[in-house]
Each structure stands twice: as structure tokens, then as C-alpha cells.
Amino acid sequence: MIRRVPRLSASVLLCCFFFLLLFAQTGAGANPQEYQVGQKLSVPGLQLPEDTYILHVQNADVTGDGTEDTVILVGQPQKDNPSFYKMVNVVVRNGKTGAFSALSPMQVKDYLQGYEPTMFLGDFTGDKLKDVMVTVATGGSGATSNHLIASWKNNKPVVIFGENENMGLKIKGRYLDGFKAELHSEVLKKTFIVDLSGLKKLYIDANVYAPDGKYIYQDPSPGPINIFSDPYYSLVPVEADNDGVYDLQGKQNVWGPIHIITVTDVSSTWKYKDKKWTPIDANYTLTYNIMNNN
């Protein structure tokens, strides 16, 4: 007996077509919407630590194959302090192949940990692809943050901004008699003198200077260096040229001889050029109490 196969209607064929199109765009049949903030994440091909949770999800082409990828920020909440995250990492699911990739554990283990992890996608290199920037507050006394930027071009995660770059202008210095400080930036290869006379009451009360301007602080580790800079407490992307490429604008605290005494704040702007970050602007500011600056 010959059975007649029913002909599919146009509407059924149209639905099948859209399903196949969706399948091809998302890769291997996975839907980016399945990745929800607050869920645990375990993916094939990656050995993520246990209790890895999704913190943020964004979609953009970061690999350069013309297909939107899923970019997932993950971390491990500390058991005795759930607001503190260890092993903060970035997982990228390729939108065309469905394959997963992430930063190596060595790149994040002792660096990307802390509070309030955030993620920003933007082009820092000028290759027309979105790079991934991660910021994690350390929770330390200097209110600093650790920052990392990685490129995912051709499915290869490469860190272009890490712990060394996060030290910024790398300033060290020493106090001079007469309410002055001599500061030197290793990055700028410049030395400059800062007038601290507007803060003299602060330094006198802290027994750093005598009223006549002589430096009197008894440093437990005497030496020529008693002023230091922290890593960035603020680092934000800025698009100054309206060309779609982001620079970085950072702020750092310069302190000494103890951490609670701020000498000055320094700000700097950086551009990624020739595979390195180059400062294009830098300045410092002092905060005077105009009501009591004797």
C-alpha cells in the first residue's frame, strides 16, 4: 500500500526556517538568554571552580567573526563573606561555534578578587572589536580597585591591561623641610616638587612637621623614600576623540609617611598604542581646608 505523505503548510515551513536561523546564530542550539545573573555556571571544556556564579552577562562580537558572542562575568562568593568574590573571571561563549573560553586561572587567582565586580565592553585597541574590562574593588584602606582588560580577538583571550598597568604612574618620593615633597614618577621619568604649605596644620598635628617646617617624623624604617602611590581608586573608559576607541582616565592616591595621610591625588589619561599603554596627560591636585589652613 502506498501512503500519501501530507504536504507541509507554508506557515509550518516558515516556522522551521526561523528555528534553523536561530539555531545557526546562537551556535550549537544554546540560547544566550539561558545565562541568568545569580545562577551557577558550569560549561563544557572549562574547569571552573565549584560554586562559580554568574555576576553579569552582555552580548557583543568580541571574537571578530561577525557573530554576537555571550560574555559572562563570573566569581566565587566567599562562604563567610558572600559579598567578597574570589576567582573573578570572564567566560566567552562563541556565538558561531558555541565553544567556551576564559582567562587562565593564573591570570585571575590572586588579582581579580574583591567586592562589587563589574564589566564593561568597549574597543580599546582600535581593531573595531569590543574588549572586556573588569573592575573589582579591593576593600582595602585606600579604596583601590583592581582592573583588567582583555582582548578576545580570534577566540584568544589576551590580557592587555593587568596588575602592572594598574599601578599607574608609580610615584615615590620624600618629604623636604619647608612643607614640601619631592615626587618622582617611574613611568613619566619626571621629578617634581609639591608645595604642602596649605596642609601644614594637618602635618603639624600628625607630628610629621614641626611648626617651623622641619620634617620630624620618626619613621620606623628610615630611608630616602617615605611617600608612595596606591593603585587606581578610579579608572574609567573615556572616548575623547569620538572615534569609537576608548582611552583610560585614572586617579591615584599618593600618601606618606603613613597611609592615612594623603600627600596629593594624581590623575592621568592613557591611550593604547603599539601594544602598550602610553600616558597622554597627567596632573596632581591638593585639597586645602580654606576655613583652617594656618
Same domain, 35 and 134: yes
Same domain, 59 and 177: no
Provide the domain count of the chain. 2
Same domain, 112 and 184: no
Of 134, 163, 192, which residue is a domain's last?
163
The Cα–Cα gap between 245 and 238 comes to: 9
Q: 3 lies in a domain?
A: no
Question: DSSP readout, 120-170?
Answer: EEE-SSSSSS-EEEEEEE--STT--EEEEEEE-GGG--EEEE-TTGGGTT-
Residue 36 confidence (pLDDT) above 70: yes
Question: What are the pLDDT digits (tens) for 58-71?
Answer: 999 999 999 999 99
Same domain, 265 and 155: no
Q: 43 lies in a domain?
A: yes
**Closest C-alpha among 151, 37, 145 to residue 92:** 151
**Closest C-alpha among 86, 95, 104, 87 to residue 62:** 95
Average pLDDT, the chain: 88
**Bridge partner list, 271:** 278
Considering the chain, what percentage of its residues have pLDDT values greater than 90? 74
Q: 4 lies in a domain?
A: no
Q: 76 lies in a domain?
A: yes
Q: 236 lies in a domain?
A: yes
Domain that holds residue 265: 167-285
Residue 187 confidence (pLDDT) above 90: yes
Same domain, 130 and 32: yes
The Cα–Cα gap between 281 and 58 comes to: 31
Same domain, 239 and 117: no
The Cα–Cα gap between 173 and 256 comes to: 9
**Bridge partner list, 182:** 174, 193
| pLDDT, mean of residues 7-17 | 45
Of 163, 185, 202, which residue is a domain's last?
163
| Residue 113 φ then ψ, to 5° | -150, 145
Residue-level pLDDT at 292: 58
Confidence label for 223 from pLDDT (cuts 50, 70 and 90): confident
Q: 17 lies in a domain?
A: no
Phi-psi region of 282 (alpha: psi -120 to 50; beta: other; left: phi over 0): beta
Helix, strand or coil, per DSSP, at residue 105? helix
Q: 14 lies in a domain?
A: no
The Cα–Cα gap between 196 and 148 comes to: 34
Considering the chain, what percentage of its residues have pLDDT values greater than 70? 86
Do residues 199 and 112 lie in contact, with contact meaning Cβ atoms separated by under 8 Å?
A: no
Same domain, 43 and 114: yes
Residue-level pLDDT at 126: 95
Same domain, 199 and 271: yes
Confidence label for 224 from pLDDT (cuts 50, 70 and 90): confident
The Cα–Cα gap between 294 and 91 comes to: 55
Of 126, 142, 163, which residue is a domain's last?
163
| CATH of residue 64 | 2.40.128
Same domain, 135 and 232: no
Residue 28 confidence (pLDDT) above 50: no
Residue-level pLDDT at 109: 85
